[in-house]
Amino acid sequence: MIDLTGRVALITGGSRGIGRATALRLAEAGADVVINFVTSQSAASEVAGEIARLGRSAITVKADMSEPEDISSMLEIVGNEFGKLDILISNAASGGFRQLMDASPANFEAAMNTNVRALMLLAQTALPLMRHEGPRRKIIALSSHGSHRALPAYGLIGASKAAIESLVRHLALELGNQGINVNTVLAGLVETDSTKNFPGAQQAFAEVAGRRLVSGLPLSPEAVANTLLFLCSPLSDLIQGQTIVVDGGEALHG
Ligand SMILES: NC(=O)c1ccc[n+]([C@@H]2O[C@H](COP(=O)([O-])OP(=O)(O)OC[C@H]3O[C@@H](n4cnc5c(N)ncnc54)[C@H](OP(=O)(O)O)[C@@H]3O)[C@@H](O)[C@H]2O)c1
């Protein structure tokens, strides 16, 4: 059994979707959790309430991952509340579904700042809190098949995900010998608030489900959270700088 008792985890975008499922999985395993959100205060508080009922500590922190000052303030709060950080999950993302031919410089900057720059700033700002004795600390970022494929209206997010995977490898190079594992979880298509509203979503969900090679098992936020839990645990201490795919084998078809 994975036991994260005594570990402190920060999950950006922990109010909804995969982030929410991960916050709950880590708390079930014993971790205390910092739930970051930017607009969904009540959803974040609900997650914190569920975690408190599990007997773990949870706080919510409003901070926009595209704003360096917000990232600094958030880590200051983590330091004041818990005095350390063991697990950092860079999950929050934005970018919108639009053609590259319609994207403005502001659209490009928003996607890159929220999705990519935030990971670097989070790692930099969290490092003093992650430099402590004990089990190896874990930094994990979220990616998608858009990092290496061409998907309709996904150019901005896809490019940001390719950059995230590269940042993760380079962070592993810099932090690996300081007691920190840095990895990426690449999830297949999961039904969440961000995906269920894109054009043709229902058809895409059905097509992807038909390509999975796991006897009809659904790819839920909780299924992705299970892989994140594994990567947060000592069971994955020898996995370093990798991109782990959780898609039920859907992409094997090419
Ligand atoms: N769903 C999929 O099919 C899929 C597949 C592969 C990878 N992923 C990746 O998995 C991650 C989570 O996706 P999801 O589908 O679970 O998303 P989601 O349900 O839409 O939730 C997005 C979360 O990110 C937060 N967020 C958005 N912009 C933010 C910002 N600027 N600062 C701080 N928080 C911000 C939201 O906070 P508020 O609630 O406050 O708005 C929310 O908690 C993303 O990195 C996504 O690219 C998703």
- Give the C-alpha distances (Å, rounded to integers) separating 194 from 53, 133, 200, 226: 28, 38, 13, 20
Per-residue pLDDT of the chain (254 residues; tens, 9 = 90+): 899 999 999 999 999 999 999 999 999 999 999 999 999 999 999 999 999 999 999 999 999 999 999 999 999 999 999 999 999 999 999 988 999 999 999 999 999 999 999 999 999 999 999 999 999 999 999 999 999 999 999 999 999 999 999 999 999 999 999 999 999 999 999 999 999 878 788 999 999 999 999 999 999 999 999 999 999 999 999 999 999 999 999 999 97
Q: Which amino acid is at 9?
A: A
Is the CB of 223 inside a 6 Å radius of any atom of ligand 1? no
- Whether 154 sits among the annotated catalytic residues: the reply is yes
* Nearest CA residue ID for atom 1, ligand 1: 190
Between the CA of 170 and the centroid of ligand 1 the distance, in Å, is 23
Among the listed residues 62, 138, 154, 196, the single catalytic one is 154
Please tell me the distance from the alpha carbon of residue 115 to that of residue 12, in angstroms, as a whole number. 11
Between the CA of 109 and the centroid of ligand 1 the distance, in Å, is 17
Q: What is the pTM of this model?
A: 0.98
Beta bridge partners of 243: 184
Between the CA of 37 and the centroid of ligand 1 the distance, in Å, is 9
Nearest to 226 by CA among 58, 18, 48: 18
Q: Which two tokens stand for residue 5?
A: 């008792």
- Asked if the 8-247 domain carries CATH number 3.40.50.720, the reply is yes
Is the CB of 114 inside a 6 Å radius of any atom of ligand 1? yes
Q: What is the largest CA-CA distance in the chain?
A: 50
Is the CB of 145 inside a 6 Å radius of any atom of ligand 1? no
Closest atom of ligand 1 to CA, residue 92? 24
Q: What is the Cα 163 distance to its own chain's centre?
A: 14
Q: Which two tokens stand for residue 131?
A: 């430099």
Closest atom of ligand 1 to CA, residue 66? 31
Rg (CA), the chain: 17
